Structure 1
Amino acid sequence: MQVNIPISEKEKEVFDAIVSEGGQLFFVGGIVRDTLLKRESKDIDVEVFHLSYDKLCEILSRFGHVETFGASFAVVHLDLLQNCEFALPRQEKSRGSGHQDFDIIIDSELPLEKAARRRDFTINAMMVDYKTKQLFDFFHGYDDLMDKRLEVIDEKSFQEDPLRLYRGASFISRFHLEASERTKTICKNMKEKVKYLSEERIYEEYVKILMGDFPSLGMTFLKDVGVLPSYLEALIHTHQRPDYHPEGNVWNHTMLVLDHAAEVKGETSWPLAFMWSALLHDIGKPLVTTEDGRAIGHHEAGVEVFKDVKIIKNKKLRAYVKMMILVHMELMKIFYDHSRPIVYKRLLKKIDGIFPLNDLVWFSRCDKAGTGRCAIQDMELINERLEEYVSSYGDHAQEALVSGKDLLALPIEDHRQYGDILRQAYEWQLQGMKKESILRRLLHEFR
C-alpha cells in the first residue's frame, strides 16, 4: 500500500538532501495516522536510517540553524522547518518509574520492525518510506485505525512509561476510538505508576482529551482503568433526582454536558476554559447531595472542592472555571423565575472581566442538554428570555458611576474602606440611583 504524505517544497529539498547522502527517511507516527484519516496534521515526524547523528546534523546545518538535544536523545530540529522533528532509530530501556527515566540507545541500522516496536499504540507505529511511499505496518495499525480500535503494541515497553495511559485517553477522545480489553487490562496494571508523573504532564494530556471531539470517551477510559482523581471519582457514586436528571448519576450528567460542550466550544471566548468548566461544574454535588437527590448549594461547595484541583496552574484559567462553577445555574434561575432586572445586572457584574455573558449562555444550554432528555422547551425559554433581558439591560456590566478618584474628594479618612465603599456605590447604582445621590449617601454612611 502506498501513502502520499503532503509536504512543502522546502521540506522536499531537505529530505532529498538526506537521501542523497545515503539516508533512508521514513514518515512516522501522527503524520501517517492523520494522513490515512484524511485529517490535517501540523507536525511531521521523520526517522532517518543509515546515517550517524553527526552526519544528520551536518546535512541539516546546510539549511539553517540546527537545534540538538545531545546525541543521547537522537532528536534534531531545524529552524527552517519548525514543524518537523528528525529522529534516529533508537531503543529505550527503563531505569526508573518516571516518564523520563530512560536510557536511549541509537542504532541507525536497527531493523524497521524493531524501530517501530518502541512506539505505544499500533495506530502510531506505521511508517511510510519517503522515496517509495510504501506503508510499513508491522502491527496491523491500519486495520485498528479503520476499526477505531486502540491497541497496545508491546506490553512490557508500554508499561515502562505511565504517561502513555493518558495518551491513550487523548487518542480515544480525538479519534473516537475504543480501547481493546487487552489495552484496558494493561493500563489498569499501570495505575500505581501514575503517581510518578508530574501534574504538568498529566495536565497536557487532559487538555488533549478535553479539546477532542469526543471527550467523554477519553474520560470514561480513565474511569475504566481506575485513574480518576478523587473529585471526579466521587461523581460516579452521587445519585440525582430522576425527575430532574433521568440520565442517572452526576458522572453520567457530566459526560453528557462535556460532549455537548465539545460541539459548541468554538462559539465561546476561551474553548479550553469552557471545557474544563464542563468537566468540573458539578464537583460540589458529592458534598451536599441528600438521600432524595437534592443538591442545594452544590455550586458553592464546588468552589471549595475546586481549591483541591491542583492540576490547573494558570491563574486566569482557574478564575474562569471557579466563576463558572459558582454561577453555572444563575442564568437559568433568572430566566425561570423571571427575576427582577437588578438580579440580572448583578450577574453581569459578577462575571465581568472573567468571561462574557455569551459563554454562560452556551454553558446553560449544555447543562440543560446534559439531562439526557429532550430539552426543547428549556432551549426556547433560554432564547426567548435572553433576547428579552439583553434588549432591555444589555449583555455587559454597567460602567461604575463612582470611582476611587471620586472618593478622594470625600472626607473619608480610612482608605482601607474604599473597596467596600465602591461595591456599595455600585449596588446603589444598580438600584437606579444617580451619581450625585450616591455620593451624598456615601458621605452620610461612611463619614
Structure 2
Amino acid sequence: MQLKQKELNYDLTDDETKEILLYEINNHLLMDDKPSEFFDSIASTAIFREHPFNMIYNMKYAEQSPVYHPEGNVWNHTMMVIDYAAREKHKSRNEKVFMWAALLHDIGKPDTTKKRKGKITSYDHEKVGAVMAGEFLKEFTTDHKFIHQVEHLIRWHMQILHVVKNNGFADIKSMKEETDIEEVALLGFCDRLGRKGSDIGKEKQNIHVFLQKCREYKEK
C-alpha cells in the first residue's frame, strides 16, 4: 500500500497525515515486540497533540495512585500494558481488537481522575473510556463491529477486580451479553502485569477465579 511507503512528517497536522499516523500506529501495535518504543518516539510531536490523538497524549498528565501504580502516570502504565499485550496477543481471538483495547483501555482516566481525601481515584473510567475509544476510532473507520468490540472490552476490563472481590460492581450477566469473557480475562491480565511490582502468580490465580465464577454464573 502507498500509505505504508509514504514517510510521515510529524510537523504536519493535516487529515492525510493523521490517517497515515493511524496506519502506522496499527502496524506497530500488531507487529512490534515493544510497541511502546514507537509511541515514545512520537509522543512529543505536534500531530500527537492534535485531535483525536490528544486523547492518548493526555494520559501523560493523568496521575495514578502510587500504591496501585508505582510506575507513575497513565501513559507509563499504558506503555507497559501494550508491551505485555504484544507478548500475549497470539492468545486472542482477534489481535487487532485486543491490541487497540490495550492501547485505549485507560483513555477515560484523564477525564475521571480526581483527588478525594488525599487519594487519587478514577471512578467509572472504564465507562467513560469506552465512549471515548469509540469516538477516537470513528474518526478513522466505519467498521462498527470492530469499534463495538473494542468499546466493550474497555467497558468491562475492570470486572476482573469486581468479580474476584464479589463486590457490588460485579455484573457478569451484562458483561457476558456484550463481550467475550476470555478476551476480558486476557486484557485484564495484561493490565495487571503492566505495572511495577506485579505478582504474576497472584494475577494468574485471579484470572482463574474470574473465569471460573463467570462460567459457573447462572442468571437468577
**Residue pairs, 1:375-394, within 5 angstroms:** 375-376=199-200, 377-390=202-215, 392-393=216-217
Confirm whether residue 255 of structure 1 aligns to residue 74 of structure 2: no
CA distance in 1: counterparts of 2:171 and 2:16, whole angstroms:
45
Confirm whether residue 350 of structure 1 aligns to residue 184 of structure 2: no
Confirm whether residue 300 of structure 1 aligns to residue 127 of structure 2: yes
Deviation at 1:206, TM superposition (A): 1.6
Question: How many residues matched?
Answer: 208
Residue 164 of structure 1 corresponds to: 7
Q: Unpaired runs of 5+ in structure 1? A: 1-98, 101-119, 121-162, 166-189, 399-429, 432-447
Q: Unpaired runs of 5+ in structure 2? A: none
Structure 1's 191 and 349: CA in aligned 2 closer, same or farther, altered over 3 A? same
Deviation at 1:201, TM superposition (A): 3.0
CA distance in 2: counterparts of 1:210 and 1:199, whole angstroms:
16
Aligned equivalent of 2:20, options 190, 196, 201:
201
**What RMSD, in angstroms, separates the aligned Cα atoms of the two structures?**
2.6
Aligned-partner residue type, residue 345 of structure 1: K
Deviation at 1:202, TM superposition (A): 2.9
**Residue pairs, 1:176-191, within 5 angstroms:** 190-191=9-10
Compare the two structures and name the one with the higher strand fraction.
Answer: 1
Deviation at 1:226, TM superposition (A): 4.1
CA distance in 2: counterparts of 1:289 and 1:213, whole angstroms:
30
Confirm whether residue 221 of structure 1 aligns to residue 41 of structure 2: yes
CA contact (8 A) 2:101 2:154 kept: yes
CA distance in 2: counterparts of 1:217 and 1:203, whole angstroms:
16
Counterpart secondary structure, 2:204: helix
Residue 318 of structure 1 corresponds to: 147
Q: Normalising by structure 2, what TM-score?
A: 0.83
Percent identical: 26
Structure 1's 197 and 343: CA in aligned 2 closer, same or farther, altered over 3 A? closer
Residues 211-266 of structure 1 show CA distances to partners (whole Å, capped at 9, x for unaligned) of: 12211111111104343211011100110000011110000010011011111111
Counterpart secondary structure, 1:191: coil
Residues 135-155 of structure 1 show CA distances to partners (whole Å, capped at 9, x for unaligned) of: xxxxxxxxxxxxxxxxxxxxx
**Residue pairs, 1:82-231, within 5 angstroms:** 163-165=6-8, 190-197=9-16, 199-211=18-30, 212-228=32-48, 229-231=53-55
Aligned-partner residue type, residue 211 of structure 2: L
CA contact (8 A) 1:284 1:303 kept: yes
Aligned-partner residue type, residue 382 of structure 1: I
Deviation at 1:199, TM superposition (A): 4.6
Counterpart secondary structure, 1:192: coil
Aligned-partner residue type, residue 206 of structure 1: I
Residue 112 of structure 2 corresponds to: 288
CA contact (8 A) 1:276 1:321 kept: yes
Structure 1's 213 and 253: CA in aligned 2 closer, same or farther, altered over 3 A? same
Aligned-partner residue type, residue 267 of structure 1: K
Residue 330 of structure 1 corresponds to: 159
Deviation at 1:314, TM superposition (A): 1.7
CA distance in 2: counterparts of 1:366 and 1:385, whole angstroms:
14
Aligned-partner residue type, residue 286 of structure 1: P
CA contact (8 A) 1:332 1:382 kept: no
